[in-house]
Amino acid sequence: MIFYFSSTGNSKHVAKVLSEATGEKMVSITECVRKMHYDFKLKKGERIGFVYPVYCWGLPSVVEEFVKYASIEKYGKHYTYSVATCGAATGQADSNLAKLLSKKGIPMHASFAVKMVDNYTVVFNVKNTEKNEKINAEAEEKIQNIAFLVNNRTGGYHNKLRGVWPVSNAVHVAYSLSRKTAPFKVSQDCIGCGICEKNCPAKAISMDFGKPVWTEKNCALCLGCLHNCPVNAITYGPTTKRNGQYHYNEKQ
């Protein structure tokens, strides 16, 4: 079983490659959280995978909460692994995930990380599609190698992107403090399609007379609503509009 969380497709692509290599099924954490589905039964010896984006050198709140609530019924020996996707560095995201799983009696056998396009458009510009394609093309070789290692149940710590890990938890505190929905704005371009509301992992959006309103004070800050809006009508502060929208292109 491959549990994945993804707002702009990077982690979903990695989960897809892993699923093709192992023949094991992908489980969307967003869908599970939205449907409050937390009970899982594993097949004998099945691998347990977690694929997720790094947020401020730590785990997305959605992943952290999902792992805390999930009840995973084991059967036989299982190989557990995690793959972090990030724009530059993971901090202690993988170690924190391993700690959470260990509290549930699930040991982590292998950790991997891969650099892909950074979707944090509050800071980074993603308008250069050629540059994005280059970054993701370089990532593809690593993803295929991770899939090979996972398929062979290779153990060990393979993350080379940890960064200056001692300050990692301090950086992650900034995430907890910045997950505010107040900066979200929707422009007149909104066509009322409801995609943002339907896919929000935090159920923080409601449609009101055909326009989204943010009904929760905090959210996961995944920026999925902003990046996946078909008419680019959502902004988060003054920078995101000029920094563009991003989604992994499966045709690459």
The footprint of ligand SF4 (CB under 6 A) covers: 181, 186, 190-196, 200-202, 204-205, 212, 219-225, 229-231, 233-234
Token pair recorded at residue 90: 């993971």
C-alpha to C-alpha distance for 49 and 159, rounded to whole angstroms: 15
Give the distance from CA 236 to its chain's centroid: 19
88, 123 contact by CB (below 8 A): no
Total residues contacting ligand FMN (rule CB under 6 A)? 26
Q: Residue 203's CB: how many other CB atoms inside 10 A?
A: 12
Residue with tokens 């940890």: 162
Query: Least separation, in Å, of the C-beta of 196 and ligand SF4?
Result: 3
Query: Least separation, in Å, of the C-beta of 20 and ligand FMN?
Result: 17
C-alpha to C-alpha distance for 152 and 192, rounded to whole angstroms: 47
- By CB under 6 A, tell whether 96 contacts ligand FMN: no
Query: Least separation, in Å, of the C-beta of 151 and ligand FMN?
Result: 21
C-alpha to C-alpha distance for 50 and 80, rounded to whole angstroms: 8
- Provide φ and ψ at 125, rounded to 5°: -95, 130
Q: Rule CB under 6 A: choose which of 87, 98, 186, 245 binds ligand FMN.
A: 87
- Considering CB distances under 5 to 8 angstroms, the limit depending on partner class, which of ligand FMN, ligand SF4, none binds residue 183? none
Site for ligand FMN in 55-74 (CB under 6 A): 55-57
- By CB under 6 A, tell whether 86 contacts ligand FMN: yes
Element (H, E) at 184: strand 184-186
- Considering CB distances under 5 to 8 angstroms, the limit depending on partner class, which of ligand SF4, ligand FMN, none binds residue 19? none
**Between 46 and 118, CB nearer to ligand FMN:** 118
**Between 143 and 225, CB nearer to ligand SF4:** 225
**Between 72 and 116, CB nearer to ligand SF4:** 116
- By CB under 6 A, tell whether 139 contacts ligand FMN: no
- Helix (H, G, I), strand (E, B), or coil: what is residue 193? coil
- Considering CB distances under 5 to 8 angstroms, the limit depending on partner class, which of ligand SF4, ligand FMN, none binds residue 193? ligand SF4
Tell me how far CA of residue 35 lies from CA of 32, 79, 118, 199, 206, in angstroms. Answer: 5, 27, 28, 11, 16
**Between 4 and 79, CB nearer to ligand FMN:** 4
